[in-house]
Structure 1
Amino acid sequence: MRSQHTIALLSLLLANPLASALAAEPADEPMETIVVTATGSASSTLLAPASLTVISREQLMNVSDQQLVTALRKTAGVSLSGRSVGGRKVIQLRGLESKHSLILIDGKRVSATDDVVGHSDFQYEWLPLDSIERIEVIRGPMSSLYGSEALGGVINIITRQSQGDAYSSLAINGTLHHANQGGGKYGINGQWVQPVSDQVTLKAHLGHKYQDDMLDTQDPRISALEGQRVSSLQVGLDWQVNPQHGVDIEYLLSDEKRWQHTNFRGTAPFYKSWYNLERDQLSAFWNANFEQWSGHVGYYRSAIDVRHATDNATVAPYSPQFLLDHVVESKFYRDINTARLTLGAEWRYEKLEHNAFSGGGDSAVHKAALAQYEMDLVEDVYLTLGGRLDHHEFFGSEFSPRAYAVWLIQPDLSLKVGYGHGFKAPTLKQISPDYRFDGPHTFLGNENLQPETSDSWEVGLRYEGINFNFSATVFHNDIQDLISSVCIERCGGRFGHVNQYVNLDQAQVTGFEFESAMPLHERVQLTNSYTYTDAKNKQTNEGLPARPRHQGSLGLHIDWLANTLSSAIDWQYIGKQHTATYTGLVALPSYSLLNANVSYTRGNHRVTLSASNLLNTDLLEKSEAFGYQEQGRSIDLAWHWQF
């Protein structure tokens, strides 16, 4: 309890410089940060109609393990949930499950595997962090722009783009753990961008990383964290045909293998299990600027092939699964005096192959049309109205409205108030009458399912000064028709239940988010985040599992020599929570993580020495009910060369 109060108190104390910061006469204009995810076109973070966080290229370069989850975990509104296999963990936004957060790469959705492949976290390894320019995290429903899955928010991964100049880079890193448990890792990434003419630019990125599995401290026959090997390729062509028209073509390929030592449902035999994951995404977009309208028409295809194997003949592997999305989209906007009108349409074909379907698979077509209008309501007050109508061939139509107002109180301070409706379509497994999976339990599809929906309200302040910035938001979510599986036959005993998917649960999530950055000295910066989440099942009034009520972080960054030598230390606190087991909810204790790094830059070379989990926090020592594990104490050395 003391740690929870400490986090909240520190957050409030760090907000105290606001009064003096607001009163101070600015010596210069603060640097403006531009985002594209909140409206589909460029807007500043101060005026963007959303609660958001931008994770910069500099921050990504200091992520020691080069994992997307690690890069996001200290962000306000983000929490982690375990998947109970191989130490996997997934991202939750504002207390909603990972399946309610839409993952985009440059605005293009990736195959949503979290709610399709059991116990998976396969959405986060489409490309290495080295190829990412920034990550835009939008908290709150965004179905008015992006459709299904965007209940909790959107995570848009923006890759590094050509700025007209040729450049190349090479990055190598390696990690050692202090204990003889495995878990060692290394990675290498190379990027090349080359304009071949005034109109055409070619680009390529190659990446490879390896991580050994980490053994369980309680039982070394089992892997606490699974091993991983990922190789990726990203190639692209940017062709500016003329000042008004351009073509972008990109192809992304990722080959991943994961392995772990485990046992069969908690008992012998002990065996090795591994997954082979192949991902690819092909996209082609035409960008146009006409006299009155600007926008794009594009096509992209995303696919992931999941295959499982074991080294024990008595343990049958899981059946292969193949997910495929074909998407054709168009979005154009027009400025009308000081207002902007955006119109768009989308057609998506979704297919899933799995032998649990009576025909070997199933498919569905999604169609959507959207409109958005951004206007100056009165002086310094901006209103964004939007709506999207989605049609699904199984359940019918769903309309997602959104209204958001931003009041620019003064040039560096804004008040944001918004409402949004979001939805998530049932997966093909859940809604297909031809689906029946037989395993430890049996699961049946239900063609009468309706989409999960949410209605969200938020009020926030955002300040962006020269020497201090902060954002604070209060939010409330009502979630309806959550899809659950209920036992309909053979419900006694631990295994053998026959379950069917139904719209059953209703939930309510209320919370508060705070982030700040402030200088303590000319070369010393303090960062802070805090999240309070109250999530409960409205039928039972019980708290939802895997939602810490209190989370927070503190970071200290010091530039010892300008643009040459710097260091950073950060601390993260994850509060008490509950986890769901077959016997009911189990309480989990709070824990903390402490990390540090030192970076030295000389010319085009940068060397970073990182120490992760300095407290050597072992979750399984705290409670065996944790559904994931943290890496043990480790040292990482990384070298980056840009030329």
Structure 2
Amino acid sequence: MRTVGKFTWIVALALALPLAAAAQEQEEEQPAPATAQEGVAQEPPSDAEPAKVVEEDGKRVFEDQLVVTASRQEEYSADIPAPITVIDRQMIEQAQPEKMADLFKEIPGVEIDGEGPFRGIPVIRGFSSNRVLILVDGQRLNNARESTSFAGIQPGLVNLSEVERIEVLRGPASVQYGSDAIGGVVNIITRAPDLSAGEFEVNGDVSYGYGTSADSQQASAYVTGSGQGFAFDVGASYQDATDYKAGDGAHDNSMYTDYTFEDDTVPNSGMTQTALNGNLRFLTGEQGVFRVNLEAVRTEDVGFPGFDPATSGIDISFPNFDRDKLGLAWNSGPVWGLNDVSLSTYYQKVDKESIRNLDFGPYFFSNNYTRSQIDSVGFNAQSIADAGRHRLTFGLDFYEDKIEDQTIADSTFGSSTEVAVPKSHQTGLGAYIQDKIQAGDRLILHAGLRGDTFAFKSEDDPNYTGEPFDVTDSDVSGNVGLNYSVTPHVDLTALVARGFRSPNLQERSFIGLASTGDTYILQNPNLNSERSLNYETGFKVRYDRYFGGFTVFYNDVSDFIALEFLGTDPTTGLELAQFANIDKATIWGVEFDLETLFATYWSVFFNYAYIEGTNEITDEPLPTIPPQKIVLGLRYQRASWWAEASARIVARKDELPTDDPRFEEGYPGFTVYGLSGGYDFPFGLGLIAALENATDKLYSEPFNNRPEPGQNLRVSARYRF
């Protein structure tokens, strides 16, 4: 109760804000959202402003945003009970992030795990890795080969140049998407050309950016054409980064000495990435739309920051990390008495090469080269129908991951060809229905139900030392929620939702040395699904001059999968462990965000998050619970130019698990400042400059023990034609 008491004033202040705003109530109507949605973003209203800020009667005002992730159809964000954040194309261009994950740092309740220009796994409400579902255009990026304990699917497999917007949904979404959506969902929506019935026109843009901290370069080109019911686009990009330089004094600080050179550079922290993408869209009949989407990403020389192979004897890296995808989608528009029928399918291949070479003198070395190939296919069929006060969304999901894995090992003790995960496949089939009920003029009710079944099967593999397996699993999810309009611009929300995660092939079959090099993992195919039951309530504010919301949540989680340590092998001296359902946990917290247009050209934004999590078995804090965080900023906006100053304040955190080796004395807190601005010339040229970590602060993100980049000046130019 002591902890809750400390933050009573925060809750009271947050609850008072919509009441204060209600005194300035203005009657205004929102247009109804479209009933059909293809899963691509609409163009923002201007080049200089985020999509939620529009010009109305000569004034800049907030307009609610259409989102698709929360219910798999277009809805205004105020009409859903869960909190959701939209990062649109203009925000991406103005932020100039080194990697996609940097965009998540300023969202309440969201942090990232991973260093360098490629690695960065979102942590939402204390859940990371495969407990957060990552989608690309509503289709799964998560796959069966990524470990929950040591890695996770990387958003960096999608190049930022092809992204139109990102929707970050906080809280369970298993009714909508099935397994993995316990902590939340990140839906990366790629650019797609607008269809036009007029004369055919071609336009596009080219851009170049440079950053000082890692001597990084980013270049992209995008061309799109549309007219007479047909549209296309083609994009290409290149990104390169060398080892970045940390904040001043990194090497002299005992926390970071082992991970930096004398000039504060973090070794092995660079990478190179190229990407190509393209789309075709055309009308089928009067209202149907067909889309073909191609993506190819090639990532090379991704290092594990902090270890210089030449001096440390440790070389951990990904020489190649590639992704290819072909997607097909069709939306009918209104047909057969339904609002919409949509069909989509995709094929995706992720090809990863990894190196773990250890050289500790003339008498011991251990070199491992691993190649993993994951072939995935997926299919979705969905319909939307209105029946009186009910809007029903119902559909089927199917996906299959096939894995082929091999490790070539060479060590002091000899050579071998090993397989940590056998040639195997994982399939998932789900059926879902959601009902949005207009129960009254002010009340919207939400209810959903989903059933999933899974199969995990290995094939004969002479190099795999574990036992063959053929396992099935199933799960049922549900949710109920409401939105109650206190005024036309303030909604009270409540949601109860169940989430789950079925353990993947990596966890069910892995046998061999962990990437840390000191633990040998034994096989355990008979794992249960992780399950969560989440309760939350709050409010959302959507005024002309105020935009924000408040949420308090409580999540009860059972059958957490983690490594269970079994003791030391007397022959090898290695720790023995296996994946097991060993933890029960509770996580609760509050999230608050508010942005206000307080003067003609000025706006201010603020958000805050506080989260606590406890392992109910050991009565210790959970390892991925972030410290308190405040983000605040001031923005000045004119028609052709803008400027912004911001600060991210992360509190110190002393409550850590006793076995967490990263920071023996807790996570040190930090404050980092940013300055940015841009100018749009009337002939299509736009210039942006951003000074990140303006004071050259030495710090690391909460879940990382390598220092983050120091002062970094990023400049970019973009020409639109």
The two structures have a TM-score, normalised by structure 2, of 0.81
Shift of residue 441 of structure 1? Answer: 1.7
Show the counterpart of 1:140: 171
Unpaired segments of 5 or more residues in structure 1?
A: 178-182
Deviations 1:450-504 (A, max 9, x none): 1111110100100100011220000000111011111235268996112111111
Match of 1:481 among 541, 553, 559: 559
Show the counterpart of 1:291: 336
Looking at structure 1, the residues matched to 237 and 646 of structure 2 have their Cα atoms a distance apart, in angstroms, of 27
1:241-256 matches, within 5 Å, as 241-256=284-299
Looking at structure 2, the residues matched to 443 and 272 of structure 1 have their Cα atoms a distance apart, in angstroms, of 19
Deviations 1:278-305 (A, max 9, x none): 1111111122231312121121122211
Looking at structure 1, the residues matched to 6 and 681 of structure 2 have their Cα atoms a distance apart, in angstroms, of 39
1:291-330 matches, within 5 Å, as 291-293=336-338, 294-309=340-355, 314-330=365-381
Show the counterpart of 1:448: 526
Secondary structure in 2 aligned to 1:581? coil
Secondary structure in 2 aligned to 1:587? coil
**1:48 matched to 2:91:** no
Looking at structure 1, the residues matched to 6 and 237 of structure 2 have their Cα atoms a distance apart, in angstroms, of 41
1:134-213 matches, within 5 Å, as 134-164=165-195, 166-177=202-213, 183-195=214-226, 197-213=227-243
The answer to which of 290-299 and 438-447 deviates more is 438-447
Match of 1:542 among 598, 609, 620: 620
8 A contact 1:515–1:529 mirrored in 2: yes
Deviations 1:408-435 (A, max 9, x none): 2221111110011111111202123x74
Alpha-carbon spacing, 1:134–1:302, altered in 2? closer, same or farther (3 Å): same
8 A contact 1:51–1:139 mirrored in 2: yes
Alpha-carbon spacing, 1:269–1:9, altered in 2? closer, same or farther (3 Å): same
Looking at structure 2, the residues matched to 225 and 261 of structure 1 have their Cα atoms a distance apart, in angstroms, of 5
The answer to which of 329-338 and 350-359 deviates more is 350-359
Show the counterpart of 1:180: none
Match of 1:278 among 317, 322, 325: 322
Match of 1:61 among 93, 116, 138: 93
Show the counterpart of 1:269: 313
1:431-470 matches, within 5 Å, as 431-432=508-509, 435-437=511-513, 439-470=517-548
8 A contact 2:268–2:306 mirrored in 1: no
Secondary structure in 1 aligned to 2:80? coil
Match of 1:220 among 256, 261, 269: 261
Secondary structure in 1 aligned to 2:212? strand
Show the counterpart of 2:453: 391
Amino acid at match of 1:614: A
Looking at structure 1, the residues matched to 573 and 694 of structure 2 have their Cα atoms a distance apart, in angstroms, of 40
Looking at structure 2, the residues matched to 369 and 261 of structure 1 have their Cα atoms a distance apart, in angstroms, of 42
Q: Alpha carbon RMSD of aligned pairs, Å?
A: 3.1
1:336-415 matches, within 5 Å, as 336-355=387-406, 357=419, 360-393=422-455, 394-415=471-492
Shift of residue 121 of structure 1? Answer: 5.7
8 A contact 1:606–1:641 mirrored in 2: yes
Looking at structure 2, the residues matched to 431 and 373 of structure 1 have their Cα atoms a distance apart, in angstroms, of 35
Shift of residue 86 of structure 1? Answer: 9.2
Match of 1:32 among 55, 64, 68: 64
Match of 1:567 among 638, 643, 655: 643
Show the counterpart of 2:23: 23
Secondary structure in 1 aligned to 2:22? helix
Alpha-carbon spacing, 1:261–1:422, altered in 2? closer, same or farther (3 Å): closer
Looking at structure 2, the residues matched to 583 and 168 of structure 1 have their Cα atoms a distance apart, in angstroms, of 46
Percent of pairs with identical residues? 21
Show the counterpart of 1:232: 275
Show the counterpart of 1:596: 675
The answer to which of 245-254 and 347-356 deviates more is 347-356
8 A contact 1:46–1:462 mirrored in 2: yes
8 A contact 1:395–1:450 mirrored in 2: no
The answer to which of 266-275 and 32-41 deviates more is 266-275
Shift of residue 403 of structure 1? Answer: 0.9
Shift of residue 582 of structure 1? Answer: 5.0
8 A contact 2:694–2:711 mirrored in 1: yes
Deviations 1:358-383 (A, max 9, x none): 78422122111111111112332111
Alpha-carbon spacing, 1:614–1:384, altered in 2? closer, same or farther (3 Å): same
Show the counterpart of 1:124: 155
**1:102 matched to 2:133:** yes
**1:78 matched to 2:154:** no
Show the counterpart of 2:499: 422
Looking at structure 2, the residues matched to 631 and 59 of structure 1 have their Cα atoms a distance apart, in angstroms, of 21
Looking at structure 2, the residues matched to 492 and 616 of structure 1 have their Cα atoms a distance apart, in angstroms, of 48
Amino acid at match of 1:151: I
1:476-515 matches, within 5 Å, as 476-490=554-568, 496-515=574-593
Looking at structure 1, the residues matched to 488 and 69 of structure 2 have their Cα atoms a distance apart, in angstroms, of 22
8 A contact 1:532–1:549 mirrored in 2: yes
Secondary structure in 1 aligned to 2:367? coil
The answer to which of 298-307 and 140-149 deviates more is 298-307
Alpha-carbon spacing, 1:86–1:485, altered in 2? closer, same or farther (3 Å): farther
Alpha-carbon spacing, 1:87–1:241, altered in 2? closer, same or farther (3 Å): closer
Unpaired segments of 5 or more residues in structure 2?
A: 30-61, 197-201, 252-256, 360-364, 407-417, 456-470
The answer to which of 627-636 and 462-471 deviates more is 627-636
Looking at structure 2, the residues matched to 226 and 5 of structure 1 have their Cα atoms a distance apart, in angstroms, of 43
Looking at structure 2, the residues matched to 493 and 5 of structure 1 have their Cα atoms a distance apart, in angstroms, of 53
Amino acid at match of 1:220: F
Shift of residue 64 of structure 1? Answer: 2.8
Alpha-carbon spacing, 1:186–1:122, altered in 2? closer, same or farther (3 Å): farther
Deviations 1:520-548 (A, max 9, x none): 32111000110010111111221112423
8 A contact 1:273–1:310 mirrored in 2: yes
Match of 1:605 among 685, 699, 703: 685
Shift of residue 113 of structure 1? Answer: 7.4
Bigger strand share: 1
8 A contact 2:144–2:504 mirrored in 1: no
Looking at structure 2, the residues matched to 481 and 395 of structure 1 have their Cα atoms a distance apart, in angstroms, of 17
Shift of residue 446 of structure 1? Answer: 1.2
Amino acid at match of 1:370: Y
Shift of residue 132 of structure 1? Answer: 2.1
8 A contact 1:223–1:260 mirrored in 2: no
Shift of residue 34 of structure 1? Answer: 0.7
Secondary structure in 2 aligned to 1:49? coil
Looking at structure 1, the residues matched to 121 and 612 of structure 2 have their Cα atoms a distance apart, in angstroms, of 19
Secondary structure in 2 aligned to 1:354? strand
Secondary structure in 2 aligned to 1:447? coil
Show the counterpart of 2:50: none
Alpha-carbon spacing, 1:237–1:448, altered in 2? closer, same or farther (3 Å): same
Looking at structure 2, the residues matched to 312 and 634 of structure 1 have their Cα atoms a distance apart, in angstroms, of 33
8 A contact 2:662–2:705 mirrored in 1: no
8 A contact 1:274–1:310 mirrored in 2: no
8 A contact 2:421–2:505 mirrored in 1: no
Amino acid at match of 1:304: V
8 A contact 2:104–2:112 mirrored in 1: no
